[in-house]
Structures are given as structure tokens and as C-alpha cells.
Amino acid sequence: MFDDIVGQLAAHFELTLEREVRSYSSDELAERLAPLDGALVTLNERIGAAEIGSAGNLRAIANVGVGYNNLDLEALSAAGIVATNTPDVLTETTADFGFALLMATARRITEAEAFVREGRWRAWSFTTLLGADLHGSTLGILGLGRIGRAIARRARGFGMRVVYHNRSRLTPALEAELGASWLGFDDLLSASDHLVLVLPYTPASHHLIDARALARMKPTATLVNIARGGIVDELALADALAHGRLAGAGLDVFEGEPRVRPELLALKNLVLTPHIGSASLATRRAMVQLAVDNLIAAMGVGPNAGHPPSILNADALKAAGTGAAVAGAKNTTASKR
Ligand code: DGY
């Protein structure tokens, strides 16, 4: 992360830093969490009952990321462990990226770059790398939350018609402000020239975009996923792209990331990026800062003691009493200064 921001924790706590960026096994995580009072983690760390089982002093987990499908909130709440995430600070950056991936996919930018780099450009031709327009097209947004709305605002500037599907509809006033119309799930699939996935990953959204859903889309359509890989059945997507049942796709997230299926890597009409939706320097710094602020507050110290700015399970905080009381009660734990 960023040493100057993470270092702020040292004013309150004794720090243990894991500098190696890799996937830690469940046992390794359990071993590392065991002596801690609080932890700052990323989406690489899956934390549930098994990982916190030996962490008797653990009171807070601050996730650096807005998506928190890596955390088992039920298990954390049951153990009285506060969980936090980093919403808002990454909204605009991620929406910018969603648009970049959409444009790259529709206009075949990465394929075109490879065409030039590989020396295949012999003469200007009228029909080289024809793509799809954004202006005048219909953009479908699956999940009109914060990031989805920021994408809808951008789409208006591009002269797109915006349709969306959420389980619950926005208010008419918000729909009018965004210029977005609600459609049922199947209608969204068949109406979209470009479909962007921005919904949370839950058991209900696992493989929501499967062979059946893809078959409802126009063969000229493009699909962009900036949410979580598990929302898309990747083999069904690869098959649709390979057989011309879908024109193109842009994926920033993958079900088994960082591993990408060979069936996907083989496709030319697929733009691939390594989960960088929120990766601008300013935004990644803001995310770490918010996570650090959350952790300090969740541990019951600092200016927001007991009131982490973005708490996911307020029930855990209540179960443990107020933050200040928690800090007082646990002042003697090994890693608390
Ligand atoms: C998130 O915040 O959930 C992103 O996927 C990682 O930045």
C-alpha cells in the first residue's frame, strides 16, 4: 500500500506488515490474524470463521475496497468483529475506467494496437477493424448503485440512451435526473447495445450472466464487467464470443483471478485488464486513507473513535459496546500501545 498512509496507524498501534503481495492460504491468514487486534486487508484475503477462529483479540477488519465479498460478514458479526469498506472515494475513477473499457471494447482498441505492433497494417482500408458506436446506442447498466449512476451520467454526455436493472427501482426523480429507464432483467439484456455490469457479487448474482442470459443479448452487443468475475459464466461467455453470438467483451475482473482461463486468452474480441478499475494513484491513496481512518475509529481511538466512517456491520459495534468503551476495556492487549 502506501507507507506514509499506513504509517499513520503507528501513532496508535504496534504494526505488523505483510509486504509480500500474493494469495495467502486460509491457514496462513489464520496464523497471521491470531495475535492481532485489528487488520487492514484487501480483496485478496478471504476472511471468515476459519480465518478468525484463533484471533481472540480481533476487533476490526478494514477492507481496502468497496466490494467486500471476501469477508464473511455473518461470521465477523457473530464474533463481534467490526468490518469496514471504502465506498465513494473510488466511484468516479471506477466509472471513468468502466467507460474506458466500454470504448476500448466497442472500438476494438487493443485489437487495433496489436494489429499495428505486429506489423499487420499494410494499407489503409475502408473496412479495417470496424467497431460499434457509442453515440446513439443503448447502454444497459446492471446495478445502478453509486458507480452505475456515475456511468449513467457519463453516458448522457455521449448521447446514449440509458436503461438499467436493479432489484428495486430508483425514485422517479432520480431516474429523471440520470435519464435512466428501468427494465426487467431479460428486457435489459435484449435492449442493450452495450451492457455494463456494476452489481455486487453475492450468491444471487453468481453466474447471473450465463449461457441463457447471453443468448438474449444482441449478437452485435458488447459486455463489460467491472464488478466481480463470478457474476459471469466465463466458459459461456468465451463460447458466445468465439461463435459470433456476442460482438465483444471487456473484462477487468475474473472468477479465478489472477488466473485467466485459456478460453478467454485465446479470443481477439475480448479486452482484458487486471482488475484496475479503481487504480488511479489519487484514488488508491484515498482508499487506503479511508481504510486507515476506519480501522483507527473501529479500534476506538482517534477523532472518530467508535464511529468508523464506513462500517458494514453496525451490529458488531453495538454488540461490543461503544468504540471508546472497547478501547478502554482492551487497552492491555499485546499489540495496542
Ligand atoms: C473494489 O474496491 O471493490 C475494487 O474491486 C478494488 O478496487
Q: Which domains are present in the chain?
A: 3-89+280-329 (3.40.50.720), 91-272 (3.40.50.720)
Tell me whether residue 228 is one of the annotated catalytic residues: yes
Query: Which residue's CA is the nearest one to ligand 1's atom 1?
Result: 65
Q: Is the CB of 91 under 6 A from ligand 1?
A: no
**275 annotated active-site:** yes
Q: Are 139 and 162 in contact (CB under 8 A)?
A: yes
Using the mean position of ligand 1's atoms as its centre, give its distance from the Cα of residue 54 in Å: 28
pLDDT in tens, the chain (337 residues): 899 999 999 999 999 999 888 889 999 999 999 999 999 999 999 999 999 999 999 999 999 999 999 999 999 999 999 999 999 999 999 999 999 999 999 999 999 999 999 999 999 999 999 999 999 999 999 999 999 999 999 999 999 999 999 988 999 999 999 999 999 999 999 999 999 999 999 999 999 999 999 999 999 999 999 999 999 999 999 999 999 999 999 999 999 999 999 999 999 999 999 999 999 999 999 999 999 999 999 999 999 999 999 999 999 976 654 443 333 223 222 233 3
Given a contact cutoff of 8 angstroms between Cβ atoms, the answer to whether 267 and 242 are in contact is: yes
Mutate to test the pocket of ligand 1, among 21, 42, 43 (most ligand atoms within 8 A of CB): 43
Q: How far apart are CA 230 and CA 295, in angstroms?
A: 28
The ligand 1 atom at the shortest distance from the C-alpha of residue 86 is: 2
CB atoms within 10 A of CB 129: 12
| Pocket of ligand 1 contains residue 67 by CB under 6 Å | yes
Instruction: Report how far residue 222's alpha carbon sits from residue 249's, in angstroms, rounded to the nearest whole number.
Output: 5
Q: Residue 225: is it exposed, middle or buried by C-beta count within 10 angstroms (0-12/13-18/19+)?
A: buried
- What's the angle, vertex CA 70, arms to CA 65 and CA 75, rounded to 5? 120
Task: Compute and round to an integer the Cα radius of gyration of the chain.
Answer: 22
Contact 5, 288 (CB under 8 A): yes
What's the distance, CA 206 to chain centroid?
14
What are the percentages of helix, strand and coil residues in the chain, rounded to 5? 40, 15, 45
Which residue, judged by its Cα, is nearest atom 6 of ligand 1? 65
CA 257 / ligand 1 centre spacing (Å):
13
Which residue carries 458488447 as its cell?
Answer: 222
Q: At what angle do helices 109-117 and 91-106 cross, to 10 degrees?
A: 60
Quick check: CB of 310 below 6 Å from ligand 1? no
> How many A from CA of 278 to the centre of ligand 1?
6
Q: For residues 290 and 309, what is the distance between their CA atoms, to the nearest angstrom? A: 8
Burial (CB count <10 Å: 0-12, 13-18, 19+), residue 298: buried
Nearest CA to ligand 1 atom 2: 65
CA dihedral 255, 20, 86, 178 (to 10 degrees): -40
Cβ of 229 less than 6 Å from ligand 1: no
The residue with cell 456515475 is: 150
Task: Tell me whether residue 35 is exposed, middle or buried, using C-beta atoms within 10 angstroms of its C-beta: 0 to 12, 13 to 18, 19 or more.
Answer: middle
* Ligand 1 touching residue 286 (CB < 6 A): no
Cα 192 to the center of its chain, rounded Å? 22
CB of 137 closer than 6 A to ligand 1? no
- Under DSSP, the state recorded for 47 is B
Task: Please report, in angstroms and rounded to a whole number, the separation of the first and last CA atoms in the chain.
Answer: 23
Residues 289 and 301: their CA atoms lie apart, in Å, by: 16
CA angle 98, 239, 187 (to 5 degrees): 60
Q: Whose CA is closest to atom 4 on ligand 1?
A: 65
